[in-house]
Structure formats: C-alpha cells, structure tokens
Amino acid sequence: MKQSAYVLSIDQGTTGSRAIIYDSKGKVVGQAYREIKQYYPHPGWVEQDPLNILESVQWSIQRAISISKISKNKIVSIGITNQRESVVVWNKKSGKPYHRVIVWQDRRSSPICERLKKAGKENAIHRKTGLLLDPYFSGTKLTWLFQNSSKCKEAIKKGSLIWGTIDSWLLWNLTGVHATDYTNASRTLLFDIKKKIWSKELFKLFKVPAGLQPKVCDSGGLFGKTDGFKVLPDGIPVMSIIGDQQSALYGQGCYEKGSMKNTYGTGCFLLMNTGRRAIISKSGLLTTMACDSSGKPAYALEGAIFVAGALVQWLRDSLGFIKEARETESKALSVPDSMGVTVVPAFVGLGAPYWDSAAKGAILGLTRGVKREHIIRASLESIAFQTKDLVNLINKEFKNPIKTLKVDGGVSQNNFLMQYQSDILGIPVLRSNTIESTAWGTAKLAGIKAGIWKSAKALDLKVGFNTYHPKMLKKKREEQYSYWQSQVKRVFSSSEK
C-alpha cells in the first residue's frame, strides 16, 4: 500500500459530473459535483453539450483537489465511470464536436428500431449483442446522426470524424487516446459480446462506417496518461474505465456469479453477475458485459428502469411539489397510503419487462381527495414496483429466488422508499454505507491496478450496510403489486396492447 498516493474517480452521470479523491485507505478526502445542462429540442429528444460535460468534469476535479488540500501531483491513478449509451461525435484532430450528445434517454431513433424489427432483424441482433432493438442504445443514435446531420456526413467523407460513448470522449480529452472498455462497448448494439469484437455485420446493418469506433480494452489496465489536460499534471495514468452500472456492481463487491445490486440514480438498474457465461434472456432482461475482481471481462444480466431519480426531479422542477429531493420522504410518510393513486413514469417509454418505447407516462386513480403528498408517495412506490418487475424476471431466469437485494445510488437515501422496497419484495434490502458505489467501483479498480491496494475483496470487508426488513403482510403485498400490474398496462402504446 502506498501511503501518500491518491486515486481520482471521475463519475460523469446523466445530470452532472462528480470528482472524488480517495486516499490510500479508501477514504474520501475531497469531492465536488456540477450539474450539466439538458436540452429537449423536440418531444422525446434529450441532448447535452459535450464541451459543457468536459467543463463540468474539469471544474469538479479542480474543486475536489482544492477541498482535499492535497498536491495534484500525489494523484497516481484515475478511474472513469460514465453514463452509458449516450454518444458523442467529434473531430479526431481538433476535438471539436460535430453534434450535441444524444443521451441514452433520447427516443428519436424509434422509427429506425421499428423498421429493423419489421425486417426481422431483432432476434439476430439480440443473440449477438445481448440487447434489444430499442432507441436506448447507441447504435441507432449513430444511424440517425449519420443520416440526418450534414456536418457528420461531410466529416465522414473527409475522414475526420470519430465517435464514442462519454468515457471515450473524456479519455480522448485527458490523454489523446481513442479507446473504451468492454462494459461500454457492449451497450452500443455494434459489439459482439461472445466474440468480444466490434461486428462488421452490425456496422453494416446500422449503416455505421467501420473504422471510426474506439479501441476496446479490459476495464482495468493502462488506457493512457494525462497529456495537456489543463487541471491535472501530465503523466497520470488512467487505469480504469467502467460503465456506471457495471462500476456500481464492482463497487458493491459483486464479482462472483450470482451476486447482484440495484442502483437508484436518474434511472434504476438491476444487475446480476453471471460470471464467464453470457446468458441470453428470454424474458426481457439485457445481457451485458461486466468485469471480475481484476478487471477482466465477465457477463451480467441487467434490467433497466429509465426513470427513477428523474421522477423526483420532475416532482421538484416541473410540478413544484417539493423544493428539495429529500422532502419526498417526509411527504410520503405524512399520508397512510397513496389513496389509490398510481404513477407510471413512462416519460421516455418503458424498459424491462415491457420494452414499449412509445408508452407515455400517467397519473392514474385521481379523486377529489388526492393531495400532492399522495402523488409523491405513489411516485416513490412506482420505483419500488418497477424494481419488483425486474426481480421477478431474475427469479424466473434463474429459478432460484433472490434472498437479499444490495442497493446504492442517491435515491437509495430515501428511507421510505427502501422500507417500501423491502416490503413489496418480501426480502431484506441492504443499503451500502458507500452510497457513491459507482464512483467507488472505478476508483477501487484503478487503485488496484496502480498498486495502491492489493485486492478488491480486502477493501470490501470495510464496507457496512443499513438493512431494511419486510414488514408488510404477504396478502397486502400481493394486492398492491397486482394493482400496479393492472395500472401499468393502461399506458402501453397501441402496438403493445
């Protein structure tokens, strides 16, 4: 263990960028966060400015270093974790973006997905990538860009355009290296997860020119060294890149087959490590790449809920029901139940197990006596119900019921939600004392690869949990979940009815 060494974790998320500095004991000595601007140019479109993302990362790093009061020269390793599926296109010499980031929540490529489905391509794509044909993933976003952006078309002709997910954009700006890791590549619809290579067939199918994509590497290892990045000295190695949900899986110590976690962030993502075997789900789960304790490729099953923390933001920013996110806990507890209200937050369609990209959100069951507190409570309950949807799928795939659920992420700080989650699942919920599991995951791997720590498992022994035990009677649990199932069907698009 290197006593005076520090690890910098860059956590670039959907709503903002966080930088956290860890000391040789794994303790946080400095952290900072800055929100990034979101653009909604048309219904269903979600964009961000790549330069705003970069500026927010630089600001957060500089602020975290200032708070930590350490010399930036003592940072010996960097880990990057990022919002997945969001895609950037830029000039490989100047670094100038050709278009705003098309964010993972964006639905503009729905018609492209529908055309490919009608052409009978979905099953072959699913077998090769582990993913479903949905605008959530990067591939159809690139198809749309290369069909609709004159700047991109011209840049491709000139041979100046390269693309990548957010990790690639940050790595290129940090080091000048154009690369990604397996966890991010596996989210593009362009990567063969069994052969572990970019697929020429998929590039052709999605009309994405080959040769513009980043190199794919293990999640742990030397990606490059800082070079000309204005808030850091040159020569610091980037030793880890992991997509945010797989990083949280690693942060929670889920390296072994069968281990699982659920992260409550902007969206909600349940992942189970399946080891060296890629299990192709038959019930709506995604097969994705993760990593083992040393950063080598592994596989996971994943269920995605598109709107979780974003629902709380909506209650605050759009409806004005709360001033701060933390108020939702006391508001929910101020009423005995939701008074029959159900909130289905299909703002950007529905993920697993429904996969209805055209579904619209709804507040159902309104009566004259309903107050904002009931809607707030129903909103939090909807997150728990959607998680139960995913747990049911996992149980169905493995035929071995889950006995506990590890959780993390900002929304997991809501005690009402965590207790209700335990109640509706009927199993204990374990919330990690390391709430920022996403940032910690990539930092842990970066520190191990830099020789600061000997092993991941030794670090995991120091992490504790707050445990929530189920208190709800089985009959009541079944009634409430059955009611949710009947209500969510009411928002399905006509194609899914």
pLDDT tens digit string along 175-209? 999 999 999 999 999 999 999 999 999 999 999 99
Beta bridge partners of residue 191, listed in sequence order: 198
pLDDT at 2 over 60: no
**Domains: count for the chain:** 1
The dihedral region occupied by 222, where left means phi > 0, alpha psi between -120 and 50, and beta the remainder, is beta
**127 lies in which domain range?**
6-253
- SS3 category, 299: strand
Q: Is residue 465's pLDDT more than 90?
A: no
Inside any domain, residue 114? yes
Distances in Å between the Cα of 209 and the Cα atoms of 155, 201, 386, 471, 487 are 12, 11, 37, 55, 43
Q: What SS3 state is found at 309?
A: helix
Select the more confidently predicted residue: 393 or 129.
129
pLDDT of residue 404: 87
For 46-98, how does the pLDDT look when each residue is reduced to its tens digit (9 = 90+)? Answer: 999 999 999 999 999 999 999 999 999 999 999 999 999 999 999 999 999 99
Per-residue model confidence (pLDDT) at position 494:
67
403 band by pLDDT with thresholds 50, 70 and 90? confident
pLDDT of residue 284: 80
190 part of a folded domain: yes
The rounded percent of the chain whose pLDDT value lies above 70 is: 98
pLDDT at position 464 is 73
CB 190 within 8 A of CB 203: yes
Q: Coil, strand, or helix at residue 332? A: helix
Distance CA 26, CA 301 (A): 28
Does residue 489 contact residue 441 with C-beta atoms inside 8 Å? no
| pLDDT for 29 beyond 90 | yes
Most confidently modeled of 216-220, 284-288, 356-360?
Answer: 216-220
Q: In 69-210, which residue ranges form alpha helices assigned H by DSSP?
A: 110-118, 122-129, 138-148, 150-158, 166-175, 182-185, 200-205
The yes-or-no verdict on residue 278 having pLDDT over 60 is yes
Cα 54 from chain centre: 19
CATH number where 78 lies: 3.30.420.40
Greatest mean pLDDT among 69-73, 130-134, 181-185, 400-404: 181-185
- The more confidently predicted of residues 146 and 398 is 146
Query: DSSP labels for 1-19?
Result: --TT-EEEEEEE-SSEEEE
Average model confidence (pLDDT) for the chain? 92
DSSP symbol at 269: E
The answer to whether residue 486 sits within a structural domain is no
Res 283: pLDDT = 78
pLDDT of 355 reads 80
In angstroms, the CA 160 to CA 80 distance is 25
Q: Tens digit of pLDDT for each residue in 342-371?
A: 999 998 888 778 888 788 999 999 999 999
Measuring CA to CA, which residue among 435, 313, 361, 415 is closest to residue 107? 361
Pairing mode of beta strands 260-264, 405-408: parallel
DSSP helix/strand/coil, 49 = coil
Burial class of residue 21 (count of CB atoms within 10 Å of its CB; 0-12, 13-18, 19+): buried
Q: Is the pLDDT of residue 419 over 90?
A: yes
Q: How far, in Å, CA of 212 to CA of 409, rounded?
A: 34
- Mean pLDDT on 382-407: 87
Report d(CA 320, CA 231) in Å as an integer: 37
Alpha helix stretches (DSSP H) within 369-432: 372-398, 415-425
Across residues 370-391, what is the average pLDDT?
95
- What is the pLDDT at residue 497? 44
Q: Residue range 234-245: average pLDDT?
A: 96
Q: Is residue 140 situated within a structural domain?
A: yes
Is the residue at 270 inside a domain?
no
Q: How far apart are CA 19 and CA 21, in angstroms?
A: 7
401 within a domain of the structure (yes/no): no
Is residue 187 one of the residues assigned to a domain?
Answer: yes
Q: Is residue 440 part of a domain?
A: no
pLDDT (0 to 100) of residue 108: 93
Mean pLDDT of 241-257: 90
